[in-house]
């Protein structure tokens, strides 16, 4: 039997053989070759952020939820068995649900008065509302306790003495800081400045043509404000709300002082107790409660991204100029009076309360000048540990603030130009620390970096690294709000003219967002330099910081000495922050 071999298949001259598919490594190398130096640098920074945020937290999650190589989710069940956990969650919702909307309204209206109307009182009217930001929250809370605690508050004593003249006798009050009203008041007091920074920066650089056109067409001041101004700065409003939400979740000094005495337990305080008062520390329940916070912040973050990508707001274009001031007429003096009242209520009174306490040998509501002395200040200046802690806090705050804002700006630029899965992961990672209590972040850093092979226990590196992770969400939100106001036409024009991404970033983007960058730096500096809870675990003998020192004084009962330190810290922080904000205004 004869068999014939199959004829060879002939390929058409027009057919081309299938190209060999490149491997993953080849595709990565090819993409890197086409990247600019700035793109490579931005990619390295982004990857570094993912690692420095994700690695310690992931290691902590694994240690809690993985046991003997198997997933163990019993912590999610155990957390609901905690005594009073339902009340704690309800208290948190009530306090934040009331204080956040009030804070956003106050911050927005106040920023509008200062940036767009003739109610401003010169340069001082823009700076003075930020003074509560420069006073550590524990110090400011102590000042208000000295003024308005029911029976012994100095302000209450003076008001009762005045009422006695008219035959009205009160046993205590009329104010009581240890109450729901006191809690909400203090939350609003210390949350408003965080939103004010972002909103005022957006209003200052908003193109006024639309507002002027609306007024020319007959719209009144308030109608223009609600229908034109607010929609034009929508990204800044949403970003400000997110910042205030993060600050509200992280607030510890108010629940730990006023909340304890008023028997109003907040989520942050319960997490702190689980990590410090429980033995052994109930890290699992603390992390589960933190995950609840993560869900809320993630929803707010998704909202901000959605708003930023709708492009239904004003942006900084090539012809942006400051418009004429809005004339308030007879309401100008009412607005100025409100500004002065706000400054007095938020800045002057608590600072005077701190000074009053600092001049006493022990806490007393009796105003007797003959018993005043500077002994507390002398003790502070004679203590090398306190001097070193103040120097370290200022230095670490400046270094950490600059680093985190530069990193956040690069991340914001990456997020603005990318919408894929990688961008969503980066955005999620950058916001993740906002939902994790600082104590948990500190524990994660100690477990990861304190021992071999890093051996960073008690060093400035572990402190600054932890500060960057703690306050990266605030920096990214500030940078996102500033970047969202920059029109793509400016960036595209720079790239079309032959400038690379690095040159465009330095010569175009940074100058346009400079006020927002400086505002974000001022915010991060104050937060880092005055950080309390995480510093208590991370600070070492060679690297003491103010937060660690103040907490120690509070628990030791050194109230008057703590008041003296608070006065000094507030002055130093104010000088640095005001200098930074002044620099930002000069570079406008």
Domain boundaries of the chain, sorted by first residue = 38-314+329-359+381-586
- Mean pLDDT value across the chain: 79
Query: Quick one: pLDDT at residue 91?
Result: 94
In this predicted structure, the answer to whether residue 85 has a pLDDT above a threshold of 80 is yes
Predicted confidence band at 122 (pLDDT cuts at 50, 70, 90)?
Answer: low
In this predicted structure, the answer to whether residue 452 has a pLDDT above a threshold of 70 is yes
Average pLDDT (360-383) is: 83
Dihedral over Cα of 574, 576, 581, 585: its sign: positive
pLDDT, greater one: 500 or 252: 252
In this predicted structure, the answer to whether residue 189 has a pLDDT above a threshold of 80 is yes
Single out the residue of 302, 291, 289, 287 nearest to residue 242, CA to CA. 302
Predicted confidence band at 323 (pLDDT cuts at 50, 70, 90)?
Answer: low
**Cβ contacts of residue 193 below 8 Å, gap of 6+?**
107, 129, 130, 132, 133
pLDDT, greater one: 255 or 542: 255
pLDDT, greater one: 12 or 212: 212
Predicted confidence band at 318 (pLDDT cuts at 50, 70, 90)?
Answer: very low
**Cβ contacts of residue 66 below 8 Å, gap of 6+?**
72
402-412 pLDDT, tens per residue? 999 988 888 88
pLDDT, greater one: 88 or 74: 88
Single out the residue of 535, 532, 396 nearest to residue 461, CA to CA. 396
Query: Quick one: pLDDT at residue 181?
Result: 93
pLDDT, greater one: 422 or 261: 261
Query: Quick one: pLDDT at residue 525?
Result: 87
d(CA 250, CA 257): 15
Single out the residue of 419, 428, 514 nearest to residue 473, CA to CA. 428
Give the percent of the chain with pLDDT over 90: 9
Is the domain spanning 38-314+329-359+381-586 CATH 3.30.300.30? The answer is: no
Query: Quick one: pLDDT at residue 209?
Result: 74
Average pLDDT (204-211) is: 74
215-223 contact pairs (CB < 8 A, 24+)? 221/326, 221/328
In this predicted structure, the answer to whether residue 468 has a pLDDT above a threshold of 80 is yes
In this predicted structure, the answer to whether residue 150 has a pLDDT above a threshold of 70 is yes
Query: Quick one: pLDDT at residue 93?
Result: 93
In this predicted structure, the answer to whether residue 140 has a pLDDT above a threshold of 90 is no
Average pLDDT (459-468) is: 89
pLDDT, greater one: 247 or 358: 358
Contact 505, 38 (CB under 8 A): yes
Query: Quick one: pLDDT at residue 543?
Result: 85
425-440 pLDDT, tens per residue? 777 778 778 767 677 7
548-577 pLDDT, tens per residue? 788 778 778 888 898 899 899 888 877 877
Predicted confidence band at 378 (pLDDT cuts at 50, 70, 90)?
Answer: very high
In this predicted structure, the answer to whether residue 39 has a pLDDT above a threshold of 60 is yes
In this predicted structure, the answer to whether residue 100 has a pLDDT above a threshold of 90 is yes
d(CA 412, CA 426): 10
Query: Quick one: pLDDT at residue 399?
Result: 92
Predicted confidence band at 96 (pLDDT cuts at 50, 70, 90)?
Answer: very high
**Angular region, 8: left φ>0, alpha ψ -120 to 50, beta rest:** beta
Query: Quick one: pLDDT at residue 472?
Result: 87
Average pLDDT (264-282) is: 82
In this predicted structure, the answer to whether residue 313 has a pLDDT above a threshold of 70 is no
Query: Quick one: pLDDT at residue 319?
Result: 46
Query: Quick one: pLDDT at residue 403?
Result: 92
222-254 pLDDT, tens per residue? 788 888 888 888 888 888 888 888 888 878 888
């Amino acid at each position: 039997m004869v068999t014939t071999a199959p004829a060879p298949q002939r390929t058409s001259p027009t057919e081309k053989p299938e190209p060999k598919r490149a491997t993953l490594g080849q595709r990565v190398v090819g993409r890197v070759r086409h990247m600019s130096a700035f793109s490579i640098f931005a990619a390295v920074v982004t990857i570094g952020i993912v690692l420095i945020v994700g690695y310690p937290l992931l290691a902590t999650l694994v240690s809690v939820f993985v046991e003997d190589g198997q997933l163990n989710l019993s912590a999610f069940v155990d957390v609901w068995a905690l005594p009073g956990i339902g009340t704690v969650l309800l208290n948190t919702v009530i306090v934040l649900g009331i204080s956040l909307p009030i804070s956003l309204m106050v911050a927005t209206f106040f920023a509008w008065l200062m940036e767009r109307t003739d109610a401003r009182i010169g340069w001082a009217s823009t700076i003075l509302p930020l003074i509560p930001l420069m006073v550590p929250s524990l110090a400011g809370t102590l000042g208000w306790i000295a003024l308005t605690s029911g029976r012994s508050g100095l302000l209450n004593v003076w008001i009762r003495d005045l009422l006695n003249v008219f035959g009205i006798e009160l046993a205590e009050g009329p104010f009581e800081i240890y109450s729901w009203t006191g809690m909400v008041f203090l939350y609003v007091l210390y949350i408003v400045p965080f939103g004010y920074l972002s909103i005022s920066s957006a209003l200052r650089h908003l193109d006024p043509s639309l507002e002027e056109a609306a007024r020319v067409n007959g719209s009144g001041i308030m109608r223009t404000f609600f229908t034109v101004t607010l929609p034009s700065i929508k990204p800044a409003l949403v970003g400000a709300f997110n910042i205030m939400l993060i600050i509200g979740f992280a607030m510890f000094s108010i629940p730990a002082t006023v909340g304890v005495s008023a028997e109003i337990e907040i989520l942050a305080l319960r997490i702190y107790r689980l990590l410090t008062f429980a033995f052994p520390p109930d890290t699992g329940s603390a992390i589960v409660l933190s995950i609840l916070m993560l869900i809320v912040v993630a929803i707010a973050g998704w909202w901000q991204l959605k708003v930023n990508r709708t492009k239904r707001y004003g942006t900084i274009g090539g012809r942006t100029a400051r418009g004429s001031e809005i004339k308030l007429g007879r309401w100008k003096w009412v607005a100025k009076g409100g500004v002065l009242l706000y400054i007095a209520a938020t800045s002057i009174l608590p600072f005077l309360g701190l000074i009053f306490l600092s001049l006493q040998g022990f806490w007393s509501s009796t105003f007797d000048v003959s018993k005043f002395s500077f002994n507390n200040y002398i003790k502070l200046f004679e203590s090398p540990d306190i001097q070193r802690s103040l120097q370290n806090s200022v230095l670490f705050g400046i270094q950490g603030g600059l680093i985190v804002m530069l990193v956040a700006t690069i991340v914001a630029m990456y997020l603005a130009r990318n919408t894929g899965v990688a961008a969503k992961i980066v955005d999620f990672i950058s916001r993740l620390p906002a939902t994790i209590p600082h104590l948990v972040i500190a524990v994660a850093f100690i477990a990861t970096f304190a021992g071999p092979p890093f051996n960073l226990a008690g060093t400035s590196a572990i402190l600054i690294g932890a500060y960057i992770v703690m306050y990266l969400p605030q920096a990214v939100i500030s940078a996102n709000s500033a970047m969202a106001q920059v029109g793509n036409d400016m960036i595209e024009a720079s790239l079309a003219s032959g400038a690379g991404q690095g040159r465009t970033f330095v010569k175009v983007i940074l100058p346009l967002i400079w006020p927002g960058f400086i505002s974000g730096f001022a915010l991060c500096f104050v937060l880092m330099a005055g950080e309390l809870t995480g510093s208590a675990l991370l600070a070492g003998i060679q690297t003491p910081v103010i937060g660690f020192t103040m907490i120690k004084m509070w628990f030791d009962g050194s109230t008057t000495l703590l008041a003296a330190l608070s006065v000094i810290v507030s002055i130093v922080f104010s000088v640095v922050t005001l200098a930074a904000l002044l620099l930002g205004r000069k570079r406008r």
